[in-house]
Amino acid sequence: MKDMKQILAILGLVLMSIQGVMAQTGKEWDDPNISSVNRELAHALPVPDGYSISLDGTWKFKWVGTPSKAPTDVFGEDYNDMAWDNIEVPSSWQMWGLHNGKSWDKPLYCNVAYPFSYNNSTYSVMADRPGWFTYKNDMTNPVGTYRRTFDIPAEWDGRDVYVRFNGVGHGYYLWINGKRIGYSEDSYTPGEFRITDYVKTGQNTIALQVYRFTSGSFLECQDYWRLTGIQRHCMVWSAPKTQIRDFFFSTDFDNDYVNATANLEVKVAGVDKSKYTLKATILDGGAEVVSQTMDVPVNGQMKMAINVTKPKQWSAETPNLYDLRLALIDEAGKEQDVRVDCVGFKEVSIRSDNALLINGKRMVFHGVNRHDISPVNGRALTDEEIENDIKTMKRLNINAVRTSHYPNDPYFYKMCDKHGIYVLAEANVECHANTGLSSVEVFRKPMSERSANMVRWLRNRPCIFMWSMGNESGGGNNFQSSRDSIKALDKTRLVHYEGNSGYADVNSNMYPGLGTVSWMASQGKPYIVCENSHSMGNSMGNVREYFNLYESKPALTGEFIWDFKDQGILTKYNGKEYWAYGGDFGDNPNDGNFCINGLVMPDLSITAKTYNTKKIYQPVDFKMNDNGTIQLKSKLSFATTDYLDMDITLMAEGEEVSRMTITEPLQPEEVRTVTYEIPDGMDPSVEYFVHFSARLKHATEWAEA
């Protein structure tokens, strides 16, 4: 009997080995049943300080037009790639090729279309293309192969090693030293692999093979430039064998929003976990606020409830951040693993009148939709470009962003935490060209997986107030699975999906008339206009009327303008630079200039629409009453106007006649009436104007005074 058990055990190992081999057929990219192979479960972003190596920089690159021509024997250490092109990472290969004279595929812009054909039963993306498509014949589905080397330091010996790519589109295989590790889809959510068993101290070779179209492309039919490549930062990092694998920080205020409980969930992975303790410390400017220590249980799953007295709240107006420091301590009292992250005290709720509240205050969002786009580098934004976007928003009184329609670069959320922007965080799900896919069972797992992975990676970000399951993908029951996956991971935030979805915690739709907005105020949920005021051409003339409504009814929570920045691509024609749009590169199908509809131009220069938005979104409203008095209304929920210089000035022929300064700051949400004394001796033949102004008293990180 013992021999039989041994035989069965050996047979089981053999079968597992065969299954592992079969799991990587090289055809996963064209199979909607498979969205990843050997990819690590998503988790909190921070890694141990001093144990990461950037993979950004120059890689070797080989482009081919079809998968059948993709190289198959070029992933080992001994392969000579000197004849290959150089490419900078991160980059979109279409943009890199455009700027460097390569004959690769070019940028393609379309809104509601797949730029590929597919089989209606198997969903293979390799069906025959129409003759007018760009991607056809010998360029049906380009594949880019990347190679480079990196060094593992000796002090990493005995540690687990991982590689992380923050964004690669639209599906890729990974090799380390010639061994195929796995496969990953989802262009805008990090993918991570454990590579401990495949690396060695000293030089190692890493290779990726990236596919232009995959089964994941069905869920990435957004209104944007369709670009490909290693488009965000990437790195190798290491952690101890017994490590802090994940954590989730959330907060719960008392009824008066004075004191709070910091709820902390931590997962410790590895061996002998019960021999460790975990110390959690909350710090403010380096000074300890509170700490708590707990023995790690055998299963490694831990929960802490830490009472915090009078924490400073995080909001877009008062973006107060604390440092959370987690230390895993061994029996000798030595810290073996440390993770540090910025956290904030913020609570999202719904009031009985269906007002959406943050920290107990009703919200009216002054929002915009934002694509992660650079006019020079496509989907590969620099940190400076991302922060400049956010600083520009702050200068325009924008307080909220919908990440249309996919997770943005992780650095974006960090900057929203820092500068103060509310984020409606959207999953990378849009099957606009075939919305029926949201009812097709084979797409249920990848849809819900994309929502879950977004939450796992980003749920510690204070700026995020609501999760969105995607965009313009119909109303299929796959969204029930997506909702369930989000709620299983985070019950502290609301769930959104457009189309007034029954799967969402809020009502939401796009471009409603004023009558519809008024009616939605009484439909039993908070109502958020996730897209509105389409800012294309000479538009946005009645935005003030919408905000009059939003401000008047509790359940109305404002809107997100479509969209923030023109998606023009900087290129040249006859030696002259201009902003290109769909069709300018011979790209088909395309939607022409429909990508040029931003509040600001591609280089962030401003337009008349910019000024209009800044005026409507201003933090203080001024109104002349019929009796000659002036009403001041603060639209701030948390901050006073102490940071502003506010003046009322009488002007004649461009010259100042008199000035009144508001010396006492307005309290949050305060409405005040003041009397402005008109000076004697005014000339009835002269036209006079009363100017109201509110200016920064002091320079900030996002604007000069």
Catalytically active residues are 472, 531
Query: Burial, 31: exposed, middle or buried (Cβ in 10 Å; 0-12, 13-18, 19+)?
Result: middle
User: Which of 399, 416, 409 shows the shortest CA–CA distance to 463?
Assistant: 416
Which residues have a Cβ under 8 Å from the Cβ of 615 and sit 6 or more positions away?
none
Using CA atoms, how far residue 339 sits from 91, 243, 270, 473, in Å, is: 29, 10, 16, 37
> In which region does residue 141 sit, left (phi positive, over 0), alpha (psi from -120 to 50) or beta (all else)?
beta
The values of phi and psi at residue 332, to 5°, are -85, 0
User: Which of 67, 1, 31, 35 shows the shortest CA–CA distance to 450?
Assistant: 35
For residue 528, count other CB atoms closer than 10 A to its CB. 30
Q: Are 32 and 442 a contacting pair, CB within 8 Å?
A: yes
Cα–chain center distance at 624: 41
Q: Given the DSSP bridges, would you call strands 464-468 and 422-426 parallel, antiparallel or unpaired?
A: parallel
Look at the block and give the residue holding tokens 């915090």: 308
Sign, Cα dihedral of 546, 548, 553, 557: positive
Residue 463 tokens read as 């700026």
Q: Are 674 and 622 a contacting pair, CB within 8 Å?
A: no
Residue 389 tokens read as 């976007």
Q: Are 499 and 508 a contacting pair, CB within 8 Å?
A: yes
Measured distance between the N- and C-terminal CA atoms of the chain, rounded to whole angstroms: 84
Residue 472 tokens read as 């313009």
Q: What is the CA radius of gyration of the chain?
A: 27
254 vs 347: CA distance, rounded Å: 10
Q: Given the DSSP bridges, would you call strands 108-110 and 224-226 parallel, antiparallel or unpaired?
A: antiparallel
192 vs 171: CA distance, rounded Å: 13
Residue 211 tokens read as 């596919």
669 vs 169: CA distance, rounded Å: 45
User: Which of 552, 562, 565 shows the shortest CA–CA distance to 381?
Assistant: 565
93 vs 64: CA distance, rounded Å: 12
Q: Are 531 and 511 a contacting pair, CB within 8 Å?
A: yes
> Can you state the percent helix, strand and coil of the chain, rounding each to 5?
20, 35, 45
For residue 352, count other CB atoms closer than 10 A to its CB. 6
Q: Are 400 and 558 a contacting pair, CB within 8 Å?
A: yes
128 vs 135: CA distance, rounded Å: 10
